Amino acid sequence: MKIVKNIFKGIGIFFTSLITLIVITLILLVLFRGAMYDDFYKNGKKTDVKIQGLDANYCPQGLDYDKDTNMYFFSGYMTTKEASRIYIYDYNNQSSKLINLANEDSSIFKGHIGGIAVKDNYVYLSNDQEILTINKERLINAENESVVTIDSRLKVNNEASFVFAGQDKLWVGEFYMKGKYETAESNHYTYNGEEFKAIVEGFDYDSTKTNGISETSSVKISIPKKVQGFCITDSGKIALSISYAIVNSQLLIYDNVFETQSPKDNHYYLDKGNLLQDIAVMPMTEDLDYHNGKIYINFESASKKYKLGNIYPSKNVYTYDIK
């Protein structure tokens, strides 16, 4: 009997010590958060814009700030069987609404919608090797919790995980992770000894087309793995959002890519030679946008899907100043 008591006592001591260690580790991680992300906070700022849909079974993915309307557009998927959503936050009157998405035949649309981008009167969504287009005015004028159908689709040559509306092109790219999120072999390249297994395609804007862009891409950029978002600054710098799971994210900044490389078939590479900065960021960064010297960053860490066990939930959009 004494032996059994000692065994249970030992087990109790073990689990008590383990729980104590976990608690101490969590406390230290919270206390040293500032030090962990010091480089980011030098130019990064938490905005007063809340990431929408965190009280629903919604997982935030895409983000675009539309300067013409002073509205923030968010896109994402539902962890239930509900339709995927777009949230529009009107900064002028501090109001928001959600819009449920439907296919052209009015059936429920349940896609991942990894990215959203606004250009002129077009709203672009990236999803499953396609770019989906919806008229911006239709979305802005739609009632809260109403259903809006997709206007058109364009097949692209990558997985279409994210999208960014640049000055002269719409950029559409893919997420690669070995074994879990594979990409087409036709998008695998080697450059200066580095392997690349994901691409971003640039589509020229074309006002004569129904969806406002050309049907084929005019430029291609090979990118590293685990890219969740992409943007290009006014000075030509390229920023990537790198993340997966609840570990630290990275904000990678590349410079002089278009100036220093001599591309074959208009194909560029984001290699280490052009990497300017590698900045540690809070976990689970998603889509990026850029306006007037600021990178806008979306997060999914505060969603219901990932809230449990995530000690750094980001509930607001962040910006990062960049020249």
User: What are 186-198's pLDDT values in tens digits?
Assistant: 999 999 999 999 9
Q: Using CA of residue 10, residue 16, residue 18, residue 24, what is the dihedral sign?
A: negative
pLDDT of residue 24: 46
Q: Tell me, yes or no, whether 222 and 238 share the same domain.
A: yes
Q: Are 54 and 302 in contact (CB under 8 A)?
A: yes
Residue-wise pLDDT tens digits, 225-253: 999 999 999 999 999 999 999 899 999 99
Q: Are residues 61 and 153 in the same domain?
A: yes
Task: Say if CB 36 and CB 248 are below 8 A apart.
Answer: yes
Query: Residue 16: what pLDDT?
Result: 66
Residues 22 and 147 in one domain: no
> Could you tell me if 127 and 7 lie in one domain?
no
The whole domain housing 17 covers: 1-31
Distance CA 237, CA 81 (A): 39
Q: Residues 58, 185: one domain? A: yes
Beta-carbon contacts of residue 229 (< 8 Å; ≥ 6 apart): 63, 115, 162, 164, 240, 241, 285, 286, 287, 288, 297, 298
Count structural domains, the chain. Answer: 2
| SS3 letters across 123-167 | EEEEECCEEEEEEHHHHHHCCCCEEEECCEEEECCCCCCEEEECC
Burial (CB count <10 Å: 0-12, 13-18, 19+), residue 86: buried
Q: For the whole model, what pTM was predicted?
A: 0.90
CA distance 18 to 276: 41
149 and 201, same structural domain?
Answer: yes
My answer on whether 126 and 226 are in the same domain is: yes
Q: Is the domain of 156 the same as that of 115? A: yes
User: What would the pLDDT profile of 99-130 be if each residue is shown by its tens digit?
Assistant: 999 999 999 999 999 999 999 999 999 999 99
Task: Evaluate if residue 73 carries a pLDDT over 90.
Answer: yes
